[in-house]
Structure 1
C-alpha cells in the first residue's frame, strides 16, 4: 500500500497480511524521506515504486525486493539526470516544473514509467541494480496535461507493439481542454511514435478550456483482451477497445450519480477482479461495482 503525506505523516510503503480480509495486519512499513510513495506496481516479489528520496528533487523510480516482507530491501533506482541534487547534478529545469515520477509498470524486463510533466520513459531492468533508459518522450509543453500512466499491451495489435499513455486532467500548465489518452507505437522502443488518441465523444467540442477533472484520469492496469476500462473523472467509467490501435472505439460506459453534496461525480480509479467485475472508485465518496459483457 503506497502511503503519501506530509513529513510528519511518515510516507512510504506499507505491507499487509490480508489472509483474513476482514482483519488486515501490517507486516512492515518501508519509510522514505519526504512525502512518500505515490503509486507502484508489484509482481509478487518486487515492488516498483515512486518515492521521494532524501537528496533528490521530486519522486524517482525505485525497485524493492519483498522476498521477506518484514524486511524490504532496495534493489535499484533510476532518476532523470538532474534530480540528484545531493550528488552534485546540475538542475536544468529552473524555468519548468520539477520532475516527478508518477509510477512505473513492469512488463517483462522493461519498466514503463510515467513522469508527470516530464513525459514518459522506457527502462531496461534486465539488471535490476542498474536500470537503464532506452527512450523517453514528453508531449509537454505542446499539451499541458501531466502524464499519469504508461500501459503497454502484452501482445501485438495489428502487428505492432502498442502502449497507452494516459494524461491526467489536473495540474494543467495553463487553462486547457480536457485531458485524453494517447496511443503509441513502441515496436521500435528506441523511437516511440504516437499513432492515435482517444477522447470521450462530446467532451471537447471546440478545444476551449474546461474545469479540471472533466477529462481522462486512469486506465485499469488489469484488463482482458483489447478492451481497457478507464476512470474518466466526471465522465465516469469508459470501456475503450484498442483492437485497431489507429482508431480506438468506446464500446461501453457507466456514469455514476454524483455523491451527495457534489454537482458531478469524479471517477478516480478503476480495476477488475478475476471474475471480471469492475470496481470504480469516486474521488469524493463511494465505489461502484459493475458487470460488463466486454470484460
Structure 2
C-alpha cells in the first residue's frame, strides 16, 4: 500500500493508513485488542478496522446506524462497546447547512420541531465485543430527546454521558448505572443553571453562544466536564444519583469558548483543557489548550497554554485551525502525565511535553495529506485535513481520524 505523503512531519512518521472500507469520515476512535473502532459523522454508523498489523490494516466491518441516527462517539472496555445514539443533526441540511448554526445556537432550540418530522434512536447501545470484529447487541438505553453526544466508560459500575433530554436547552451531564450491561439505567443528572427550560429556568446563555456539555472525564470521585461556551465544571460524583458542583470556571468571554476536552493528571495536580476551534479561518478567535493547577479543586488556576503550530499560516489554510481532541490516558492505552497527544484539525496531530507545566514544548507533529475524496456532505467544505480524534496504544503507536481522509497510523520518534 502506498501511503499518502504527509504535508509536514517532525519526529513523527506515517506508517499505516486505512480508508475505513471506503467510509473515510471518522470522529471518535478507540483501539482495542488489535481493532480500531471508528465512529462516523456522515456515514451513519461505525466501523471496525483490523489493525493487528498496523502497517497493513486489514478488513473493515461496518455497522449501520438506525434510521435518522448518528453514532459519532463510542467507548470500549473489556468485552463491551458502548455507542451513542442521537438525531443525525448534520443530515438536517435545512437547519445545519451553515455549521455556524450548530456551534452558536442551542441545539434544543434548533431542532425544537424535529419530533413532528421524523423519528430516530436516542440514548446508547451496548454491544458484546468478545469477538472484536463481530459486535453483538446486548443492551439498550433509550431516552426522550435528541439523545447522547459523548461517553466516558473505563469499566466499573458507572458510565457518564452528555445528553440532550426533552425539556433541556442543550446537552447536560448524566450518570449511567452499568451494573447490568444488558439493562443500563440513567440514574443522575447535572446541568448549568438556566438549562432546564421545562422546569421554568431562564437561559443564562449569551446570544450566539452555547452552554452545552461536550463530555466529562472522571478521575476518582470528580468529573471534569467541558461545557463549550460554558467553560469547565468540577463535579463531585460520590453520589452518582446527585452530582454536586465543586467549581464552575468560565473564561468565555474574553476567550472564544468551545471548551471541549479535559484531561486530569491527578497525581500531579494538573488538568489539561482543550478549547475546540469550531469555525473556519479562526472566525471564532484563536483557541488554546490550557494547563490548570487543580491542587485546590475549588480554585483551578491556568498556568500556561500549549504552543501554537506555526510552520505555515494555518489560519489561512482553510477549514478549522486549532485544538480538537486529546488522547485521554485510558486504562490499557499509552498513559503519561508528561507527554500529551492532541489533534489540531488542519494542523494535524501534535505531541507536547509538559514536564515543566509552566512551559509546554511541542515534541512532534504530523500533518496528513489532504483527503482524496470528501465524505462530508455539507456544502462548500474545503478539501483540507481536519484531524478529529487521537488514540495512542500501549506500544506508543498513534491512531488518528479525519472528517474525510480515513485512519492514519503514526510512529512517534520520542
* Pairing partner for 1:198 from 291, 303, 306: 306
* Pairing partner for 2:132 from 7, 18, 21: 21
Structure-2 residue corresponding to 1:109 = 221
**Shift, 1:212, TM fit:** 4.5
Structure-1 residue corresponding to 2:84 = 2
1:168 equivalent in alignment to 2:284 = no
Which structure is higher in RCO with an 8 Å CA cutoff and minimum separation 6?
2
Aligned partners of 1:97 and 1:77: how far apart in 2? 22
Q: Deviations over 1:130-185 (max 9, x none)?
A: 111110111112111310011111321xxxx111110101059x824442201111
Q: Deviations over 1:208-254 (max 9, x none)?
A: 88855111111111242211110110111101111111010111112
1:188 equivalent in alignment to 2:300 = no
Q: Is the 8 A contact 2:213 2:228 kept in 1?
A: yes
More helix by share: 2
Structure-1 residue corresponding to 2:154 = 43
Match of 1:21, SS state, is coil
Q: Is the 8 A contact 1:230 1:237 kept in 2?
A: yes
Structure-1 residue corresponding to 2:348 = 236
**Shift, 1:201, TM fit:** 3.2
Match of 1:40, SS state, is strand
* Pairing partner for 1:56 from 164, 168, 171: 168
TM-score (norm 2): 0.65
1:291 equivalent in alignment to 2:411 = yes
Structure-1 residue corresponding to 2:393 = 273
1:214 equivalent in alignment to 2:325 = no
**Shift, 1:273, TM fit:** 2.2
Q: Is the 8 A contact 2:309 2:347 kept in 1?
A: no
Aligned partners of 1:205 and 1:276: how far apart in 2? 29
Q: Is the 8 A contact 1:35 1:52 kept in 2?
A: yes
**Shift, 1:205, TM fit:** 7.2
Structure-1 residue corresponding to 2:200 = 88
Runs ≥4 residues deviating over 6 A? 203-206
**Shift, 1:33, TM fit:** 2.5
Structure 2: state its 5+ residue gaps: 1-82, 89-114, 374-381
TM-score (norm 1): 0.90
Q: Is the 8 A contact 1:177 1:210 kept in 2?
A: no
- Calculate the aligned-residue CA RMSD, in Å: 2.2
Match of 2:212, SS state, is coil
Q: Is the 8 A contact 1:259 1:284 kept in 2?
A: yes
**Shift, 1:103, TM fit:** 0.5
Structure 1: state its 5+ residue gaps: none
Match of 1:35, SS state, is strand
Structure-1 residue corresponding to 2:53 = none
Q: Which moved more, 1:261-270 or 1:227-236?
A: 261-270
Going from structure 1 to structure 2, the CA distance change for 1:74 and 1:259 (only over 3 Å counts) comes to same
